[in-house]
Structure 1
Amino acid sequence: MITYEYPFNERIRTLLRLEDLFDKTSHFLQHDGAQEHHVALVTLFEILEVAGRADLKMDLIQELERQRQTLLAFRNNPEISEEALSGALYEIEQASAALLAMTGKMGQYLRENDWLMGIKSRAAIPGGVCEFDLPSYHYWLHQSSDARRNAILGWLKPLLPLRDGLAIVLRLLRASGRPEHQLAKNGTFQMMLGGSTAQMVRVSVRLGDPCIPEISANKYALNIRFTSPDGDLRPRPCDREVAFDMTFCNL
């Protein structure tokens, strides 16, 4: 199955964007090439921009505390594994403590690094990080892969509590719903939600089925229009019945 996630509010949208950026940074850091490390660094700059919301850290701390209180209610429940419950509570408490230990504006230490900010500003220009624009960066890219990787990890490390906290929140969010099988007749599906409290919907389509869901939703209505890519991957209306799984998620 291939799953498409559609957030219903800006808060979840921000967490999904950060999750994607942290995953990309981790992926490119596993490689040794200078070009991969350049992409990892540019992606770190994107994390800095998305994480700049002043209330993001407190949002995560409050949500983790809410989930901790919910889990505490399951103490001494014979149907719940005490070991699994203790492990989940410990993970949440560790993530909350790490977030609380973050001081100052998110990523301020990066903004105070003039060398990095010079690269960031040039990276926003197409082709703006050539060696004649940034000779010192060109020199850095020719250092050993371990030296580059360790430098990026050092710049990334203070932001990792953010990654760990949002990973827990998104994992709990995704696990909160149950998938239901649905059919889109003539490639369209509509549902009235009546003021639903759902924060995200997940639509899963069989991987071999060339149908792409275009989703628009709010707490009152959900609309899905399936399209099929042509030879140039341009979407065209899908006018046949499409089977899919749909999951509403809410913390």
Structure 2
Amino acid sequence: MSLLPDVIAKNKRVSQLVLYEYPINERIRSLMRLEYLFKRLFAFISGTSPMHQHVALSLLFEIMDTCDRAEVRSGILQDIDKQKVNLESYRHHPNIDLNALDAAVADLSRVSAALMGKGRIGQAARENEWLMSLKNRFAVPGGTSQIDIPSYHAWQLSADENRQRAIKEWVEPFMPLFDGVSVVLKMLRESGSPIDASTQEGGVFQEMLGGKIYQMVRVWVSDERLIYPEISANKYVVWVRFSELDAQYKTQLITTPTVFKMSFCNV
């Protein structure tokens, strides 16, 4: 008896869905950028190599610049307060787990209280004069070489545990911001339910919003091909079309119908 069919079945690749997200307003765009920077920061901060830590520092400095705008913190606090009100509205509904509700409200209150602290976000790290002088050198191409800032070169030669401890101390003041960003985006993403969709002949999907207000569009597409969505939206309509990277990495617009999943999110 031939085992070939079984081998083929075992080796057959199961396609996965790749997620793309599109913010519909600038505030959510800023939060998603911060989330992106934090994820990269956490990926590099665990490394012991000075090269990993160099990238981690550059990401920390980007976070500093991104969160300097006052509306970042105030917008997060407003969203958290809004969600607390929404949760409290379920308190007298039947079949509600009050312990779980209380825990959720308490967690939101904890994140809000930590983010509401006095001073600028990450003030403790900003008060480190050497760190801030290093931040200025990062803005210059090649400006962190030993000829420009020998103290940084000496720091990179220090013990691994000392460098890791220092970076974690510098990142710690920004963790309330990360917690706030994570909570708001988690609530936003969970507010939408995926639906099946498809582009039409010509390669365009269009959805009229009918007066509904959304803050994020999420699109899932198969990873069987190197295709990606181009999403645009305003308060009236959402458009989605797909393009593909060919073998020469040139963009080709897909004009045949493409099936995908999507969700509209708002809190």
TM range (shorter): over 0.9
Residue of structure 2 in register with 1:206 after alignment: 222
Residue 82 (structure 1) shift: 2.3
Residue 248 (structure 1) shift: 0.3
Give the one of 183, 186, 189 matched to 1:168: 183
Deviates more, 1:44-53 or 1:123-132: 123-132
Deviates more, 1:117-126 or 1:68-77: 117-126
Q: Partners in 1 of 2:121 and 2:248 — Cα distance? A: 41
SS in 1 for 2:232: strand
- Mapping for residues 32-181 of structure 1, pairs under 5 Å: 32-100=48-116, 102-181=117-196
User: Taking every aligned residue pair, what percent have the same amino acid on both sides?
Assistant: 42
Q: Partners in 1 of 2:24 and 2:82 — Cα distance? A: 20
Whichever residue aligns with residue 129 of structure 2, its letter is D
- Assess if the C-alpha contact under 8 Å between 1:76 and 1:82 holds in 2: no
Q: Partners in 2 of 1:187 and 1:137 — Cα distance? A: 52
Number of matched pairs: 250
- Assess if the C-alpha contact under 8 Å between 2:242 and 2:253 holds in 1: yes
Residue of structure 1 in register with 2:12 after alignment: none
Q: Partners in 2 of 1:12 and 1:147 — Cα distance? A: 36
- Assess if the C-alpha contact under 8 Å between 1:187 and 1:227 holds in 2: no
TM-score (norm 2): 0.88
Give the one of 240, 246, 250 matched to 1:234: 250
CA RMSD of aligned residues (A): 1.6
Deviations 1:69-112 (A, max 9, x none): 11011114333322322221111011011112x21123344444
Q: Partners in 2 of 1:78 and 1:22 — Cα distance? A: 39
Deviates more, 1:8-17 or 1:117-126: 117-126
Residue 211 (structure 1) shift: 1.5
SS in 2 for 1:198: coil
TM-score (norm 1): 0.94
